[in-house]
Structure 1
Amino acid sequence: MAKVLGSIQRATKAVEVYHRVITIFELSKGAESEDLVVPLLGLGNLLMKEGKAMDAEIPFMRILNIYTKLYGENDGRVGKAMCSLAKVLKDSKGMPLDDNVVEKMRIEVAELLHLVGRGKEGRKLLEECLFITEKYKGKEHPSLVTYLVNLATSFSCSKNFVEAERLLRRSLQIMLKTVGPNDQSITFPMLNLAVTLHNLNQHEEAEQVAVEVLRIREKAFGKESLPVGEALDCLVSIQSKLGKDDIELLELLKRVLAIQEKGFGSESEEVMQTLNKIVFYLDKMGMRDEKFPMQRRLSMLRTKYKHMVQY
């Protein structure tokens, strides 16, 4: 009945019927029942057709929440719901484009789209956020950094490292005008830049950036902190491509291992990954006496995680 009323331009009456259907389902099957999706979708589409994007946001958000709770955020139905919500946000004209609530929702939807493998749609939404912020706050405003870094991450995931590099360099230029060259906050885009340059085979510059990140983080967080371990791990990957001495790389990896054992625990997945790298270098250098205990420990961790996956 609601669908027919909507098709013959009796939108107000159709909305009333949709709300009645939703209420009946809520009372009989609960507020999070999947049966609510059909009337919610019909209501949302009708409101969009009538140019009421702000009102349509509520039913589409409810659909997203229902599917996420029932099937998890990586399910295809969640992705479709997020696409619908993204369109609502794009078409919404009832609130200013730079409204903080709308801006936050755009970011959240973009993140969820990336999680379910819809990176192209998520990237488009982030580009809209960037454009709106540039328009209302200027092209050098510090709030642009979040969008620039998120966009760079998205482009990196799609193997477009050239565009990722451009965005990261721009984010650093903006940050350096605000916080200065030794502030720990700049190390996040800097480390991303080091990885991006590494993927572009610009290993010498990547090493310079990673070394600078390491210096800043050691001073800010301490030499045994997890942020330092992250920088060291990145530096090892870069220096291995530059053909640096295996003994030096092994020592850096042992330092990473000690930091991860302290921060994540001796049986963490991070520790397992670093042990794998250490065993590789020990084997490469023929250091059997050191290799065997590390290899045994690695084997035990692999068995543990294999059983966890099976269960």
Structure 2
Amino acid sequence: MNEVTVIGLGAMGGAIAQTLLEKGYQVTVWNRTATKADSIVEKGAVLTSTAAEAIRASQISIICVSDYKTSYEVLDVEDVHAALSGRVLIQLTTGSPEQAQKQEIWANTHGAAYIDGAIAAAPTQIGGSHATIFTSGSMEAFDQVKPVLGVLAGHVPYYGEQVSAAASIDLAFLSYLFGSYLGFFHASRILESDGLRIDDFGSMIAGVSPMIGSILQYEGEVIQHSKYENPQSSLQMSMVTVGLLMEQASEKSMNNEFPLFLQNMFHKAIEAGYGEQDIASLVKTMR
């Protein structure tokens, strides 16, 4: 099975199509703005005039567009319904768990097997060993598409037939990532206030990332098994560091929104009686 269809040729969809071509796949493409396909057609892709025609060209179709609303605008038309029957649809558009559940039902109704995927990579990383695509959905369909997805990403974890899983894992990952961004950006202001290099700090963080990963792995086990007692470092002890962040921001007349947010969260947990428990007990105040 060497034919794949790609619907949507934005930055990510274009990178997907190009990578498949480079790996020897016969790639059929469709995009609402046909001129966006010019460069990929020059490299060997076949452009069709309709989405239905593109889907009929391959057993496996990948759709990667801006959102699920756009996805339905492309797919939820009569000729596409007929074209999907007996084929596999891989949805790589970023969406919510509920959107994944609804689209699986929709796809199955029209005779298509469905895999929901979430890309944890930039377009320039597609095809590289560090790219990840979280997946969930039909196990039989996943076995069919795994070689194709393996061309696009070095890591393709499959989270089972609960189709919402990939989207939930993706949103959890993005929550962690965006939280890390905020911490790093506040750290940048601390460094700037003392004339220190931010790029050197970034390199240091990259170097210690395995250690950070181990800490988070431990905290995940604490939360999963509710083992908050007898911590290595209590929430009350961690509150001392939050106080220092607030003090430093005051000393340098810096924006203090990030440490203030932490302070409020920590105070809430301590007032709830979790001060001598593991810092992961913060999650109890978020339930």
One fold, TM greater than 0.5? no
More helix, by proportion: 1
More strand, by proportion: 2
**Greater C-alpha Rg:** 1
**Normalising to structure 1: TM-score of the pair?**
0.29
Say which structure, 1 or 2, has more relative contact order (CA 8 Å, 6+ apart): 2
**Normalising to structure 2: TM-score of the pair?**
0.31
